[in-house]
Amino acid sequence: MKRIILVMLCIFCCAQLFAGTPSDSTWYRNRQGKELRYVMLPENWKSDSLNIHEVTLRRALYQKPERIGLEIEIYNFLYQRYLVVFSVMPSRKNLAPVWNRINPDTIKDKIIDADALKRLTINRTGRYPAKGATMENNLKYWNYALLVKKSDGWYCSSTDCFTEFFEIISDPSTQKNKSFQINLAAQQLSIAEYESAYKRKHGYYSTNSKSLMGGNEDVANGDLLYNSYIKTTNGQKRYQFWLLSEWVHDGASAKRGMDRFVFVPGIGVVSASYDFFMPEIVDGWYQLYNKKFNRPVMEDYVTYDGYNPEMELANYLTEYTIPEKVIPKPKK
């Protein structure tokens, strides 16, 4: 009897793990208990007050027997000193985000246009300092989807889409900034420098890495965003930022959003790391391909870039971010 109960419990857990619609397998959408809202991209992506920039990130998984990688599509809505970042994720069933055709008239009462999104951003970031750390979840959401106009109609993102609101400032007097403040003049502090000082004080690393557990008094009043360095590539300044927060080991850490990202003025986020999300999906695809090729030890056949505590800690300390997808130039 105990064995039967255990089997049924395992089946239930697996069903919950792979829960989602048959086409997209969304994991986090509506987890905050909020109604799904749709953000419509204007057909004119550039104006005096708004610049929308799309970036595709690609995380390589295997080289053999076939080259595959997971893709994340980032849409930056840049309103001069405000930024909204939409990260459209892949799923266990799709290596890249999924877009389904949709008739906007069927959801017109749930659509937010670009102007309304700007007002929402100003309101959210403006209220946060007055409310304190409890407002954190009101700056990071899973219940938004994007509507994009293509040649044959409107399409909606149907895989998980993570939305983050930011304010862009330039204040050289501070090193500690709230998690939504992209401070281009902040005093710099890298993860390695922070962790070295933390370890000298406590005897161990902080819990900002997923591979470690526990509390951190440095975020008692809310999560923080640090600038670690600035690089200039082809005349373009690239600012590396990292989030200082805590890990909740029951799935709630999805609220962290981008753990690290690279910001380019005038464009937005061009590279990022999602430490709460990627280990699960990478290992999920590893298991699928292991079953597909019926090979007991897949590492003997492919370059498996999986996740483990040592790798997570190394990625964290070296401030790894998923790079922008490189599109091969056509051969002459």
The residue ranges of every structural domain in the chain are 26-317
Q: If you average pLDDT over every residue of the chain, what do you get?
A: 78
Q: Crossing angle for the helix pair 191-202 and 309-317, nearest 10 degrees? A: 110
Residue 279 token pair:
């280990």
Q: In this structure, what token pair is assigned to residue 132?
A: 């304190």
Tokens describing residue 108: 């017109």
H/E stretch holding 4: helix 2-17
DSSP notation for 140-196: EES-EEEEEEETTEEEEE-S-EEEEEEEEE--TT-S-EETTEEETTPPP--HHHHHH
What integer is the mean pLDDT of 251-271?
A: 88
Distance of CA 245 to the CA centre of its chain: 15
What are the residues whose beta carbons fall under 8 Å from the beta carbon of 308, sequence distance 6 or more? none
305 pLDDT more than 60: no
Pick from 50, 221, 39: nearest CA to 128: 221
Q: What is the pLDDT confidence band of residue 14, given thresholds at 50, 70 and 90?
A: very low
Place 57 in a pLDDT band, splitting at 50, 70 and 90: very high
Phi and psi angles of residue 13, each rounded to the nearest 5 degrees, phi first: -65, -40
CB 258 within 8 A of CB 66: no
Band of residue 147 on the pLDDT scale cut at 50, 70, 90: very high
Instruction: Identify whether the C-beta of residue 162 lies closer than 8 Å to the C-beta of residue 278.
Output: no
CB 131 within 8 A of CB 18: no
Predicted TM-score (pTM) of the model is 0.84
pLDDT digit string (tens) for 316-331?
889 999 999 865 444 4
Say if residue 300's pLDDT is above 60: no
Q: What is the mean pLDDT of residues 27-38?
A: 72
Query: ∠ CA(72), CA(76), CA(77), 5° rounding?
Result: 145
**Buried/exposed 149-184: b ≥16 CB within 10 Å, e otherwise:** eeeeebbbbbbbbbbbbbbbeeeeeeebbbbbbbbb
pLDDT at 222 over 70: yes
C-alpha pair distances (Å), 243 with each of 6, 172, 207: 40, 19, 12
Contact 65, 293 (CB under 8 A): yes
- The confidence band for 164, taking pLDDT boundaries of 50, 70 and 90, is very high
Query: Do you know the residue count of the chain?
Result: 332
Tokens of 45: 């992506």
The answer for 169, left when phi > 0, alpha when psi is -120 to 50, beta otherwise, is beta
Beta bridge partners of residue 326, listed in sequence order:
none
Structure token digits, residue 314: 């190394």
Element holding 163 (H helix, E strand): strand 161-169
Distance of CA 267 to the CA centre of its chain: 17
User: What is d(CA 85, CA 182) in angstroms, rounded to the nearest whole number?
Assistant: 12
pLDDT digits (tens, 9 = 90+) for 97-143: 999 999 999 999 999 999 999 999 998 888 766 555 554 556 888 88
pLDDT of residue 306: 58
The phi-psi region of residue 241 (left if phi > 0; otherwise alpha if psi is between -120 and 50; otherwise beta) is beta
